Structure 1
Amino acid sequence: MNFRRIIIIDIASLGMGEAGDANRYHSIGADTIGHLDEQFSEMLKLPTLESLGFGNIRWDHQLQTVPMVEHPKGFYGKMHARVNASHASSTLREMFDYSEPLRVVSIFNNLARQGFSNVLISRFVNYLETQDVCKQVQCANDDLSFIEVLNHLKKVGEGIIYNQVPELAIAARKHHAKEYASRLMIIDKQIQLLMDTMLDTDLLMITSSFAKDVDFDQPTTREYLPIILYTKQIEQGHSLGIRRTLGDVATTIMDNFTNPINKNDFKHSLLNELTK
């Protein structure tokens, strides 16, 4: 199953609970969504993410505000970063770097060589800003960033549209928990609008390139990160399990847009899950 466009919504800073190596990164007890769930149990409502199976990711530690659903619209799971660093740029590189026979390159370079479009919508991301093979759109506002996504859906025929929403991470770093919860609910509505606008030939990937628990002082926290896939072609999804590297995102994108010499190169592609 291949798609003409892959739309990536990076809800940067949204973590799913401490990762297995959290002790190495001063992140014992970190749980971005869990702490929001506890603090704003009467306020936090995320119906779009809930319908996609976001709550199902936490089957072993269920959320009050985003419960599990019996028939999720999306394919859902969580990812554990492999890189031995917790900087936002390090985990972003892990998510979008791809190993070629002689070197490691950004998938954006590879796709550009093949003639596909790369649109990157973000506030400011050093790794992404260095990519001269991409159309870069700077947005310091979550709402404007989604407007840009919808605008580029009218322009991009084949390729990637990536949007890293900026304001959640800012709220997290300022320790503004209520603002964070409010922004997350707005993003949930914007994702629903995007889903309504998508074509059958589009694949939506919702993830987070790093975590930042509002209750912690360090710039990032070492947590599991969500991954959700949605396509209008499939009515009900299932669990993607725990992915052992953020690089499964890059592998999935490369699998969709290239023809591998050796199919084993893409054995960890999430596209394999869509046909099960």
Structure 2
Amino acid sequence: MAKFKRVIGIVTDSIGIGAAPDAQKFNDEGADTLGHIGEFFHGDWALPNWQKLGLGNIREDAPIRGVEPIQKPIGYYGKMFEISAGKDSMDGHWEMMGLPVTEPLGFFPQGFPEKLIKQIEDFSGRKVIVNLPYSGTEVIKKYGEQQLKTGDLIVYTSGDSVLQIAANTAVIPLKELYKICEYARSITTDQPYKIGRVIARPYVGDKADNFTRTSDRHDYALMPNAPTDLDRLQAARVPTYGVGKINDIFSGQGLDDGIHTVSNEDGMNQTIKQVESAREGFIFTNLVDFDAMYGHRRNAQGDGDALMAFDKQLGELMAAMQEDDLLMITSDHGNDPTFRGTDHTREYVPLVVYSKSLPGGGDLGIRSPFADMGATILENFGVEGTGVGHSFLAALK
């Protein structure tokens, strides 16, 4: 018998809680997503529901302004750091589900090789422009009008293992963009490229001032190269359901079904809807706006506002939970909106766990790897794991 009938895992994409032990290796010393957002607001912000669960207690030695420790949190709290070779969303999510990414993925900070670009041009019949590291909003602002005139493909990258193709759907229809990205995915799965994700970035508008990216983004991740905890749950007939970009990150593997979402608000609404239903098993949610809308754009105001909006919906989710539900909230990496550059930051991630049936107040300490989360979910449902992660289920008492 499962201790909890249902586990809800929420990934607040990119919300780190301070530089990881190996941050220096990534040139990320001093990064602190939550801490720096608190400083940006001068403490004049609040996350009362998350704080009630113990978020502030993770940082008793260096309190987050506005989200300080409290005396009696009703949840369990700790932080995790990853062992994967990179700091991309794919690395973080796969590691949560028992599959650390130990081999570095292809990284092209100066742009992609001419041979690869030529293959994309030959397949698509379109010229590739840019082929440099860029902010997604800045690249369409600078090159979008050119694309409208010529129909060229805007290809760009970032500090992660990603190949992104931006297209104005007025000249490159969504179906065509997806087809091109699927082809790019098919030729970059192995060395010498082995790119973690190919991302379709559709947008609309007729001039630089009004170009706007749409919610039709699609991530084409590598297929997991071994079974994940999602596969193990599925094999044991434990239902699995993905909300947001979870399906993209795992290429649908190990998921019974799921739903694409258009925003953090939609992601939380869909999660709450599933919690209010009779669905059992594991509900796995990614909230990407913190990362895509604010972290990469270095928008601390927007990040903080989005966190407060999430916290309000978190209260609604907590109210909808049943006694035999278990909630886990964590992140996949950092993306400090006050830091240099526009890329992810190598940070600890918060871990907060809650159930109405538990007294709370427990310190889960520092967990590594992220796979401890998956190991706990497996143990709850009586499913055998691989030993990569170590369950903390026994600490929830």
The TM-score normalised by the length of structure 1 is 0.91
Report the residue type matching 2:351 in the other structure. Answer: I
**Distance in 2 separating the partners of 1:83 and 1:44:** 33
Using the TM superposition, give the Cα deviation of residue 267 of structure 1 relative to its aligned residue in structure 2, in angstroms. 8.3
Judged with a 3 Å threshold, the aligned counterparts in structure 2 of structure 1 residues 130 and 10 are, in CA distance, closer, same or farther, namely: same
Does residue 1:232 correspond to 2:233, yes or no?
no
Counterpart in the other structure of 2:239: 117
Does residue 1:193 correspond to 2:316, yes or no?
yes
Does residue 1:222 correspond to 2:223, yes or no?
no
Q: Residue 212 of structure 1: SS of its match in structure 2?
A: coil
Q: Residue 82 of structure 1: SS of its match in structure 2?
A: coil
Alignment of 1:1-276 (within 5 A): 2-97=3-98, 104-123=226-245, 126-131=248-253, 133-170=255-292, 171-216=294-339, 217-260=341-384, 265=387, 268-275=390-397
Identity %: 30
Report which of the two structures shows the higher radius of gyration computed on alpha carbons.
2
Number of residue pairs the alignment of both structures matches: 270
Q: Residue 97 of structure 1: SS of its match in structure 2?
A: coil
Report the residue type matching 1:221 in the other structure. Answer: T
Report the residue type matching 1:105 in the other structure. Answer: P
The TM-score normalised by the length of structure 2 is 0.64
Judged with a 3 Å threshold, the aligned counterparts in structure 2 of structure 1 residues 86 and 266 are, in CA distance, closer, same or farther, namely: closer
Consecutive aligned runs of 4 or more in structure 1 exceeding 4 Å deviation: 264-267
Q: Is the 8 A contact 1:255 1:266 kept in 2?
A: no
Q: For structure 1, list consecutive stretches of 5 or more residues without a partner in the other structure.
A: none
Cα displacement string for residues 2-30 of structure 1 (whole angstroms, at most 9, x for unaligned residues): 10100011111100100111000110110
Q: Is the 8 A contact 1:78 1:225 kept in 2?
A: yes
Q: Is the 8 A contact 1:252 1:266 kept in 2?
A: no
Structure number with higher relative contact order (C-alpha < 8 Å, ≥ 6 residues apart) = 1
Counterpart in the other structure of 2:160: none
Report the residue type matching 1:255 in the other structure. Answer: E
Q: Is the 8 A contact 2:47 2:311 kept in 1?
A: yes
Report the residue type matching 1:60 in the other structure. Answer: D
**Distance in 2 separating the partners of 1:128 and 1:65:** 35
Q: For structure 2, list consecutive stretches of 5 or more residues without a partner in the other structure.
A: 101-224
Report the residue type matching 1:192 in the other structure. Answer: G
